[in-house]
Structure 1
Amino acid sequence: MTDCILRVENLAINRSGKNVLNGISFSLYKNESLAIIGPSGSGKTLLGLALAKKIFYRGEIQFVNDANRKIVFVEQLHHFKNLQHTNDLYYQQRFNSYDTEETETVAQSLGENLKPAEVFLKEMGIEHLRDERLIQLSNGENKKLQILKARLEEPTVLILDQPFIGLDQETRTWLQQQFEALIKSGVLMILITSAEEIPESISKVIWLEKGEVKSFEKLEKFSTRTELKTIEIKKDFVNPGLKNFLKTESTETACESVIEMREVSVQYGDKLILDKVNWKVMKGERWLLSGPNGAGKSTLLSLITADNPKAYANSIFLFGKKRGSGESIWDIKKKIGFISPELHLYFNQSSTCFETVASGLYDTIGLFRQLSDEDIELVDQRMEFYRVKDLRQKKLYELSVGEQRAVLLTRALVKDPPLLILDEPCQGLDSERKNEFLELINEVCTRRNKTMVFVSHYENDIPSCISHYIQLEHGRVVEIKNK
């Protein structure tokens, strides 16, 4: 027992009068590390927060040399404040040059740690971001900055919630190497992750299900579990009402040309984000948009979703009409279903799940109007279609990140739009729900003849209905091809 470095005994966490974690007990010994896995809503993040001593819990958590432990918790979503130290930020702010000055630069956020951070900035390939505003960083770039800041704190215990989410393959590989080095240096690593992304350097795995321990074992034994090899989609997972809906013919009369960009360039100060992009998307085409972190994908999508005023300075046609020819942003948004990690970050967490889905009818980040009886019926129907009806009255902040993402996906689909813009939609979903969602997207797109632009850094997160590919690097189109 003298080699025990962490002991957890009978840990329990109660939320809203309900035990969401119960009877959690395990121990880690010298040179061991831990992965926490489980489906959405199983309590993974809550366990991580409890280990970091950030939330109230019952039971016992004891680290060896507890008084000298430096515990750092890296959350899944990167929340930051403006220069007035408030959270008064909005989603489109990163694309409005006159408002971006309200947030710190990377260098300012690092403060006195800037000099020791130089080596990490270079290793992670983000030294060019020193003078960038935090709000203008891509999802992946923000994740890299989170991890960099955690390293600078020189933790003895490092707990990371879904550290690989939002990162391109090259950076994920680099990060796994960093974790291995940290473990060898004596840092106790605890990763909240998926079963598919457990680094080989991790020694123990705790599998949570419905708030309890399903298994706690060595990685080698865990990896042999047959239930991890393939997760079959339940034959009846598609709601009968949705099946009937998908059989009906879409009434949308979208123009044959849905998106067209001609020599599109976007520049902020001296930084060129997009460089002479030419791209045409026709009705019914399903595109995969790929590229490394910081390639310009989010900026490209913002020109389509009417969130970026730079669209007016370019030759961009949406649904057959040139941007700036008299249409309002709401005329464009009503034809688009959209989700992205950034939208998730800025969404009003105090909204109920019903309000969140209903806001998709009006393309607002929150519900700010009275719904008609027909709208209420429609929202309830869609929530039942996409299996989130049981979350109807819960607040977003009461849900796991994966459950929040499922609700926001329903929001993107609620009005049955002709164009879907799905930017890393599978982030935070467990394997079962991810596979079901991908199959659902295949059904919706093919049966309803949807046009779609889909973004993912993971090959196994790409729906089979994808018909075309476009790849960006450094703001330029480097490849366009059919499937």
Structure 2
Amino acid sequence: MLIQLINATFRQAGNQSYPPINFTLNAGEHWAIMGPSGAGKSLLLDVLAGRTTLQSGQLLHPVGPLKAMVELVARDYSFDWRIASAAQFYQQRYNAQTVDTAPTVREVLQGQVRPTGTIDPASAPVPPPAYTDEWLAEVAAQLNITYLLDRRLTSLSNGETRRTLLARSLLKRPRILLLDNPFVGLDTDSRAQLHAIVGRVAQSGVSLVLVVDERDVPRCITNRLVLSGSVGQGKQVLEQGTEGMEASPATGPLLRALRPSPQATFTYAVRMRKVTIRYGEKTVLNGIDWTVRRGEKWALLGANGSGKSTLLSLITADNPQAYANDFDLFDRKRGTGESIWSIKAKIGFVSPELHLYFPRQTKVYDVVASGLFDTMGLFRKPTPEQRTQIDDQLRQLGLDHLRDKPLSALSVGQQRWVLLARALIKNPPLLVLDEPTQGLDATQTAQFRQLVEQLCQVNPDQTLIYVTHYTDELPASISNTLHLDGGRIVA
């Protein structure tokens, strides 16, 4: 036995409690943790890693201390404030001059990152490398990131970032590796590559515990733990083997009828003419010609690193290179005196980056309300009419009971659902949904797809740009596709 939970109960921030759980991980076993959003899956990993204390029960680890034995693969860059601040600084600035000073993968893995904005290296000395060159080279080869070691952190695709974070954990030589939704946000090829890597790690003798969606369960999994939810919603279920599970029935309220949007006055939401974006010697977008007419529904597809996010940053007025390119937004040529806020007022937007950087202590009510003002938080008082609009939105999406809780007290799926409510709150004529179902469970994904269909039925002029790596999630209303590969349009 490597680790065991006996009648263990734990509590999420915000005082949500979960049923008692009994769980034993033996050497040679690999577990998939499954269940609906909010069931406590990620919190269970925190318990096993010793990051969250039990309310009652026991956590046994007779083989050795948790810190030396168990490693939770980082979900993002928050494990080191210097890396987190550097990642946020460089990702939110599309500035070629500063990208050259971003930390490299080697510096991140060796713990040799200087604080953001360091001008004189002598003023911020770094410690010696955390690992030998031989051990780093071995792990890098195992995870296929050798070619990334001297690349800047901000140049990595989503799949490359995931493998880098996994390498950081494997360098510590853990006996138990905990992974939280490692396949979320990856394209088909990146998922296949990570599946192969996870299989090799399992064969190396490391025991795996993964929070994972049914469609992404690795072949090496030997056992399943299905979590049902908070106290009063049932018991936890242990399953042996790798047979499929039935989807859980819908638990949220049916999505009610939605208010139609005001009549859209533009003819073209987007008209791009030979748009090209370069950062130094790297061309991210190459000669893009794209027209999105009012009322059209588009799927934007492509592998990680194909240029989708950069393309969206032009539409959402977040990329300063917009002024060096020829394109129109809402029938007006970009750079002819329009304000960023007048553009954002017409767009409802959600993305993995918005989720990553949205302030975690913001209350759910304020998060949804902030969508009326396109701000990362609520900085003005809503009018009585706006308060009614916010209340209706919370009720429609089944969030009213969470209105006073901070984002940090919610599960990842619940947080994403709140940000979707924020994107929809002002009934925008253009919806830009970048991987909107990332982190949602099967029920929430089906509800969201139903919601998008309702929007398109109620608002014939609703314009939609939808990004996903799972084409089976695309709403039926999608009738146009733009496929990028290496910054070029291929279909």
TM surpasses 0.5: yes
Q: Between the two proteins, what is the percent identity of the paired residues?
A: 38
Seen in structure 2, the aligned counterparts of structure 1 residues 440 and 384 have a Cα distance that, compared at 3 Å, is same
1:156-205 Cα shifts (integer Å, max 9, x gaps):
11000000011111111121122222222211100011222211210110
Distance 1:400 1:235 in 2: 15
Q: Is the Cα–Cα contact under 8 Å of residues 86 and 102 in structure 2 kept in the other structure?
A: no
Distance 1:294 1:335 in 2: 27
Q: Which residue of 2 aligns with 1:62?
A: 60
Q: Is the Cα–Cα contact under 8 Å of residues 94 and 135 in structure 1 kept in the other structure?
A: no
1:218-270 Cα shifts (integer Å, max 9, x gaps):
133x52x4x33xx666897122xxx1x34x4x323231211111111111111
Distance 2:313 2:134 in 1: 34
Seen in structure 2, the aligned counterparts of structure 1 residues 86 and 274 have a Cα distance that, compared at 3 Å, is closer
1:419 aligned onto 2:430: yes
Q: Is the Cα–Cα contact under 8 Å of residues 297 and 478 in structure 2 kept in the other structure?
A: yes
Distance 1:399 1:199 in 2: 27
Seen in structure 2, the aligned counterparts of structure 1 residues 79 and 125 have a Cα distance that, compared at 3 Å, is same
TM-score (norm 2): 0.88
Distance 1:382 1:109 in 2: 42
Ranges in structure 2 where 5+ consecutive residues have no aligned partner? 111-128
Seen in structure 2, the aligned counterparts of structure 1 residues 51 and 291 have a Cα distance that, compared at 3 Å, is same
Seen in structure 2, the aligned counterparts of structure 1 residues 158 and 475 have a Cα distance that, compared at 3 Å, is same
Q: Which residue of 1 aligns with 2:195?
A: 176
Distance 1:467 1:458 in 2: 16
Q: Using the TM superposition, give the Cα deviation of residue 85 of structure 1 relative to its aligned residue in structure 2, in angstroms.
A: 7.4
Q: Which residue of 2 aligns with 1:53?
A: 50
Correspondence 1:379-418 to 2 at 5 A: 379-418=390-429
Q: Using the TM superposition, give the Cα deviation of residue 11 of structure 1 relative to its aligned residue in structure 2, in angstroms.
A: 1.0
Q: Is the Cα–Cα contact under 8 Å of residues 3 and 26 in structure 2 kept in the other structure?
A: yes
Question: Which amino acid in structure 1 is aligned with residue 479 of structure 2?
Answer: S
Seen in structure 2, the aligned counterparts of structure 1 residues 203 and 125 have a Cα distance that, compared at 3 Å, is closer
Q: Which residue of 1 aligns with 2:486?
A: 474
Distance 2:87 2:193 in 1: 34
Q: Which residue of 2 aligns with 1:255?
A: 266
Distance 1:138 1:92 in 2: 12
Correspondence 1:272-283 to 2 at 5 A: 272-283=283-294
Count residues with an aligned counterpart: 465
Q: Is the Cα–Cα contact under 8 Å of residues 368 and 419 in structure 2 kept in the other structure?
A: yes
TM-score (norm 1): 0.89
Secondary structure of the equivalent of 1:66?
coil
Q: Is the Cα–Cα contact under 8 Å of residues 95 and 279 in structure 2 kept in the other structure?
A: no
Distance 2:331 2:141 in 1: 44
Secondary structure of the equivalent of 1:42?
coil
1:10 aligned onto 2:7: yes
Q: 2:370 aligns with which of 340, 345, 359?
A: 359
Q: Is the Cα–Cα contact under 8 Å of residues 90 and 102 in structure 2 kept in the other structure?
A: no
Correspondence 1:305-324 to 2 at 5 A: 305-324=316-335
1:410-453 Cα shifts (integer Å, max 9, x gaps):
00000000101100110110100111101111111232121111
Seen in structure 2, the aligned counterparts of structure 1 residues 109 and 146 have a Cα distance that, compared at 3 Å, is same
Secondary structure of the equivalent of 2:369?
helix
Secondary structure of the equivalent of 2:57?
strand
Ranges in structure 1 where 5+ consecutive residues have no aligned partner? none
Q: Is the Cα–Cα contact under 8 Å of residues 77 and 87 in structure 2 kept in the other structure?
A: no
1:376-411 Cα shifts (integer Å, max 9, x gaps):
111111111222121111000010010000000000
Question: Which amino acid in structure 2 is aligned with residue 442 of structure 1?
Answer: E
1:188 aligned onto 2:207: yes
Q: Using the TM superposition, give the Cα deviation of residue 128 of structure 1 relative to its aligned residue in structure 2, in angstroms.
A: 5.8
Seen in structure 2, the aligned counterparts of structure 1 residues 400 and 418 have a Cα distance that, compared at 3 Å, is same
Q: Which residue of 1 aligns with 2:113?
A: none
Superposition CA RMSD, Å: 2.6
Q: 2:241 aligns with which of 219, 225, 233?
A: 219
Seen in structure 2, the aligned counterparts of structure 1 residues 16 and 264 have a Cα distance that, compared at 3 Å, is closer
Q: Which residue of 1 aligns with 2:359?
A: 348
Distance 1:309 1:420 in 2: 21
